[in-house]
Amino acid sequence: MQTQTFELNMGPQHPATHGVLRVVLELDGEIVVKATPVIGYLHRGIEKICENRTYVQSIPFTDRMDYLSGMNNNLAICQTIEKLMALEIPERAEYIRVITAELNRIASHMITIGVLALDLGGWTGMVYCFRDRERILDLFNSLCGARMTFNYIRVGGVGWDLPEGWLDECRRFLKDLPEMLKTYEDLISGNEILQMRLKGVAPLSAERAIAMSASGAVLRASGVDYDVRKANPYGIYDRFDFEVPLGTSGDNWDRFYLRYLEIIQSARIIEQALEQIPEGPVMAKVPKMIKPPVGEVYHHVENPRGDLGFYLVSDGSPKPYRWHARRPAMINLQLLDELSRGTFIADVVATLGTLDPVLGEVDC
C-alpha cells in the first residue's frame, strides 16, 4: 500500500513551543520524517537597534533577548564592554554579580524543569517550580525593582547595593532549596511516566553535538565537559569550587536531568559567594559618556541556555559600530530536526523542551 507523508504546523501560537516558534512537521503517520523550525516571529532587530544606541543603552535590550535569564545577559554585555574599555570592577560588585547570575540560573532551570513537565501533561509539576521561582524573582525585585527585565548589572559594577536583609533572605532561600528539589524529585524527575517518556529518546552523540556547536546543558548531556565558567573563567568564577555535571547518552532524559543537577551546583557557588562577599563600593569610576578605544572584542559567558557571546566593534564613537550576539538558544534549536527524525510527534514537544530555547533569544 502506498502512503503519503503529510505536513503539520506546530505553532507559532502554541504554549508548548516556548514562545512563538513554528515547526513544520512532515509526518508519516505519527512518526516525524522532518521537522523544520521556522523562526523570526519575535524578531525585533535588537542587534541593529543596539548599533544605534550608546553602550549603556544597549543593556536593557539584552534583558529582552533571553528573558528568563536577564541577569546573565546583563553580565555578558557589561563584561564585554568592560573588556573593551579595560575596566576594573570593585570586589563587592563581582560577588553580587556572581550571586545574582547564579540565582537567575536556578530560576531559569526551574522553568525548564517545570515547563517540561507541563509539556508532557503534568500540570502539577509546573506549578511548584513556578512557585519556588517566585522566591528568586522577589529577591530580584527588592534588589533592583524589576522581576524579569532587570538592567541591574551595569558597566563598572551593579546598579544598586544590596538592600538591608537581602543576604539573609538569600540564605533562607538556599536553606529551603533542598526541600524544593526534593519536591521536584518526588513529583517530576522520579516519576516513571516522565522517565519512560524521556529516556532513550532523541539521543545526541558528542561528535554531532560539537559539530552543531551546541552548548550548555545540551552539549554536556552528551558527555562533553565544556562549561565556560571552567574552560574560560570570567569574572571571579575561578575562586569557586563547583562541579560540572555531565550526561552520558545525550538523550532527552540527560538533557532534562542535567538542569536539575546544575541547580545544586549553582547553589554551591552562591553559598561560597555569600561567605566571601566583602564590603565596599559596588560601582567603579566610569565616565559619563562611554567611548571605548577603537578595537574589537569578543566575550562569552555561560548562560543557563549555553554559551552566550557578544562581539563588539568600537570605532571610538559613543555607539558601537557592530553589536553582535552569539545566541545559544538559536544554535541549540538547530538540532531539533536531527533529533526529532524517527521519533513520535509527541516526542517533538519533549525534545523541544529539553533543548530549551527561549524565542526572545532565538529571534533576537
Partner 1 sequence: MLGKSLLTGMAVTLRELFRKNVTEEYPEVQPELGDRFRGGRLDLVVSKCIACGLCMNNCPNGSIKLKTVKDENNKRQLDSYIHNTGLCLFCNLCVEVCPTKCLVWSKEFAYAGYSRDALVFDCMALDRERIHREEQSQTTEEKG
- Where along the sequence are the contacts to partner 1 (CB under 8 A)? 53, 56-61, 63-64, 124, 128, 131, 134, 141-146, 149, 151, 159-160, 163, 183, 186-187, 190-193
CB of 108 to partner 1, least distance (A): 20
Location of C-alpha cell 553580565: 75
Residue 212 or 283 with smaller CB distance to partner 1: 283
- Bridge partners of residue 40, in order along the sequence: none
CA-closest candidate to residue 255, choices 292, 293, 214 = 214
- State how far the alpha carbon of 108 is from the alpha carbons of 2, 105, 137, 193, in Å: 47, 5, 11, 24
Q: Are 113 and 340 in contact (CB under 8 A)?
A: no
CB of 286 to partner 1, least distance (A): 12
Residue 128 or 226 with smaller CB distance to partner 1: 128
Residue 166 or 344 with smaller CB distance to partner 1: 166
Please give the Cα distance from 200 to 216 (Å, whole number).
Answer: 20
Please give the Cα distance from 215 to 238 (Å, whole number).
Answer: 20
Residue 195 or 232 with smaller CB distance to partner 1: 195
CB of 172 to partner 1, least distance (A): 15
Residue 60 or 233 with smaller CB distance to partner 1: 60
- Bridge partners of residue 326, in order along the sequence: 309
CB of 145 to partner 1, least distance (A): 4
CB of 347 to partner 1, least distance (A): 21
Q: Are 232 and 83 in contact (CB under 8 A)?
A: no
- Bridge partners of residue 295, in order along the sequence: 314
Q: Are 252 and 343 in contact (CB under 8 A)?
A: no
CB of 194 to partner 1, least distance (A): 9
Residue 144 or 270 with smaller CB distance to partner 1: 144
User: Per-residue DSSP letters for 281-304?
Assistant: -SB----SS--PPSEEEEEEEEET
CB of 72 to partner 1, least distance (A): 17
Please give the Cα distance from 305 to 289 (Å, whole number).
Answer: 32
Residue 128 or 310 with smaller CB distance to partner 1: 128
